[in-house]
Amino acid sequence: MTREEIFDQIKSKHSFLCIGLDTDPEKIPKHLLSSSDPVFEFNKQIIDATHDLCVAYKINTAFYEANGVMGWESMKKTFDYIPKDIFTIADAKRGDIGNTSAMYARAFFEKEKSGFDFDAITVAPYMGKDSVTPFLQYKNKFVILLALTSNKGSQDFQLSSRLTTSDSGLLYEEVILKSQQWSNADNMMYVIGATHPEMFAHVRALAPDHFFLVPGVGTQGGDLKMIAENGMNKQCGLLANVSRNIIYASMEKDFAEAARGQAHQIQFQMKSFLIN
């Protein structure tokens, strides 16, 4: 999927919502546990209820890898069930020496090899250019670099001025500026946490054309209005991820209906930002 196709979806659905399928078998409604694949059955009903309200689904692979072979099977069935016009993100946070990153890229981008054909993957840039470039070799695929994340520990390194390669600036700024020498907005995005709303205008100035994957809206308390006002560009440029607030809106048999209600509230708010 290209940047223009993502924007077409945003305009069509009046939404820049990304729903995180961070599905924990211990948190899904109990009545699903009797099904042959409870995780997939849960995801299937969430997708059925929300696919017209979001432009992306993000599969956090750790929640599936934790369940071994069965988890990978659930992830594969979930991936295959997502409508093909919706942007798919493998939230795998990979990143290693070049030949290893090439194998990670193959695992998530080459359907004939692994069965997966995600549109994007999250990548940790700590090991530098040669750990990222193998992912950038794929046409119409996106690398989403961790830059300024939503967790409290982001302050340990990302907001440190002692870890930069220049006399000024913070580490996350170095990541954004340096990585733009490797590629451009057509196949690179950045993770920018919603828990740093006051920094979005500055981050947008550093990367005016790139899309940002924005976790931290919802449970972590990110301010969607402030993010939209300071982070949007001419193609919207935002994919705001919400996971727990949507998928765990109810633990009862009405969980899919409740998830749709939460997603619709967020989409309605996003529509007002896009129209304005």
Task: Say what the pLDDT of residue 185 is.
Answer: 97
Higher pLDDT among residues 5 and 223, named by residue: 5
pLDDT at residue 170 in the model = 84
The tens digit of pLDDT for each residue in 159-169 reads: 555 555 555 57
| pLDDT at position 147 | 84
pLDDT digits (tens, 9 = 90+) for 102-146: 999 999 999 999 999 999 999 999 888 999 999 999 999 999 999
Residue from 159, 161, 175, 164 nearest 125 by CA: 175
pLDDT of residue 219: 65
When pLDDT is averaged across residues 247-260 and rounded to a whole number, the result is: 97
How confident is the model at residue 167, as a pLDDT?
55
Confidence of residue 155 (pLDDT cuts 50, 70, 90): low
User: Which domains occur in the chain, in start order?
Assistant: 3-154+185-275 (3.20.20.70)
pLDDT of residue 166: 53
Specify the pLDDT at position 127: 86
Per-residue pLDDT, averaged over 53-64, amounts to 98
Written in H, E and C, the secondary structure of the chain is CCHHHHHHHHHHHCCCEEEECCCCCCCCCHHHCCCCCHHHHHHHHHHHHHCCCCCEEEEECHHHHCCHHHHHHHHHHHHHHCCCCCEEEEEEEECCCHHHHHHHHHHHHCHHHHCCCCCEEEECCCCCHHHHHHHHHCCCCEEEEEEECCCCCHHHHCCCCCCCCCCCCCHHHHHHHHHCCCCCCCCEEEEECCCCHHHHHHHHHHCCCCCEEECCECCCCECHHHHHHHHCECCECEEEEECHHHHCCCCCCCHHHHHHHHHHHHHHHHHHHHHC
- Considering the entire predicted model, what is its pTM? 0.93
How far apart CA 56 and CA 99 sit, in angstroms, is: 29
- pLDDT tier at 15 (50, 70, 90 boundaries)? very high
Active site residue 93: yes
Q: According to the model, what pLDDT value does residue 149 have?
A: 65
Phi, psi of 151 (to 5 degrees): -75, 160
Q: What average pLDDT score do residues 70-79 get?
A: 98
Helices 68-81 and 38-50 meet at what angle, rounded to 10? 20
Residue tagged active-site, from 76, 93, 178, 271: 93
Of 50-54, 95-99, 208-212, least confident by mean pLDDT is: 95-99
pLDDT of 157 over the 60 cut? no
- Calculate the average pLDDT of the chain: 92
Tens digits of residue pLDDT in 190-242 = 999 988 888 899 999 999 999 999 998 866 667 899 999 999 999 999 999 99
pLDDT value of residue 101: 95
Residue 262 has pLDDT above 80, yes or no: yes
Query: What is the rounded CA–CA span in Å between residue 87 and residue 274?
Result: 19
